[in-house]
Amino acid sequence: MNLALFDLDNTLLAGDSDFEWAQFLIAQGVLDSELHAAKNQEFYDHYKAGTLDIHAFLDFQLAPLARHSRSELDTWHREFMATHIRPIMTVAARALVKHHLDGGDLCAIVTATNSFVTGPICREFGIPHLIATIPAQESGQSGQFTGKPRGTPAFKEGKIERVEAWLETLGLWWGAFATRHFYSDSHNDLPLMTRVSHPVAVDPDDTLRAHALAAGWPIISLRDC
């Protein structure tokens, strides 16, 4: 058995689902464009520099979910998929996923973006497992989000913790697989990339590209020409 793990934003997607969700909410009049854009840019600059405070970012990212009912959010998300996400799901990315699925590999998306935003995207790719940052819900049957994360965010070393916990639920571990692929664009994913047997840099940032070149890792592009 082989394992195939995929980062989502700027890897399988030719864009960032969290950024696109914010842009969608701005277009709906839910978020203030000027205020949100400035704060989002600040967090993104820290992300690129490798200095992001993930908990501060999640307080910012998850707050809009807590202000609206699940039915309203779900309705918005269906439109979001059609207008913002499917257009950035490239043919090459779909083909890569299909290659691993057809080969019988155990496949999962591993992403720091929250599972509300990314769950439908994962299903659209046909990938059966999602390891994402989990937005906490209130007790009861409303499904209302609290605006806070639950458990360890799937970010940097947290991705390793979450993947290993997921494998344990399946009665598996790293050594259960003949090969272990992980595809990512970001140097923030270096902890998990160094844990697998086949790390692949996908349209990488400058830091990851330099690391991949030095380590002899494959560098590929999933952008449609």
| Count of other CB atoms within 10 angstroms of residue 38 | 10
7: annotated active-site residue: yes
224: annotated active-site residue: no
Q: How far apart are CA 89 and CA 41, in angstroms?
A: 24
* 221 neighbors 10 (Cβ within 8 angstroms): no
Under DSSP, is residue 89 helix (H, G, I), strand (E, B) or coil?
A: strand
Q: Nearest-CA neighbor of 199 among 174, 216, 178?
A: 216
Write down the catalytic residue from 9, 105, 189, 205.
Answer: 9
Q: How far apart are CA 167 and CA 189, in angstroms?
A: 18
Write down the catalytic residue from 7, 105, 185, 189.
Answer: 7
Active site positions, annotated: 7, 9
